[in-house]
Structure 1
Amino acid sequence: MIVYNVARAWFTMKADAEAHRKSLGRPPTATATIRIDSREELAALLNGLMGLGEIEVMQANTVVAGPALVPTEVVERAQITNTPPDCVPAFLVREWERRNKREQKDNDE
């Protein structure tokens, strides 16, 4: 299976990925091609995207190394963080921070 990644968006067709890349004004290197040939590689991709790194799989007696199969920039773009990106409007960020502080306070009590 082959999939394409451009700026945290996933595509099944290269033409669609390239059109998206061009619409964003990104260079050709912004398109990452990821080829998955086995279940182990799929697990490695998913582990890499989740930031789990290297996981030992006892049943198959193999080691699945996520980041080795996925370009580093793809893993970095796919990371889930608690920091909103710059494209999120400031009023939404402030509301989100207030809500998180309120929930944190409720959980501490």
Structure 2
Amino acid sequence: MKGREQAGARTVARTATSEPVAVAPPATWQAYPNPFREQVTVRFTLAETQAVTVRVLDSQGRAITTLGQEEAQANQPYELEWQAGKQPAGMYLLQLQTPTHQYTQKLLLTK
């Protein structure tokens, strides 16, 4: 049900709704431990079946490595690991990208 009120020179529209609708996020993900010393584990689940790429970038946004690139099934948990090896200590970016969304999380590598 919509109603309109005249408030001075502007029109205000109101919309009546029943209950809030819960919308599942397109992806849930976490990286742990963070900060990390040698290895970080990445877990993610997508709400829809779609292509996904998980990359590690340096602090300037340059790709260091691709941890995974595949079609991920909806509601299926995935786990990837990054062995930092000889990478220098510092901040890195973990990027999870699908055709419709891109997520980025900071990672801190300590030595």
Tell whether the structures are fold-level matches, with TM greater than 0.5: no
- Shorter-chain TM-score bucket reads under 0.3
More helix by share: 1
More strand by share: 2
Q: Which has the larger radius of gyration?
A: 2
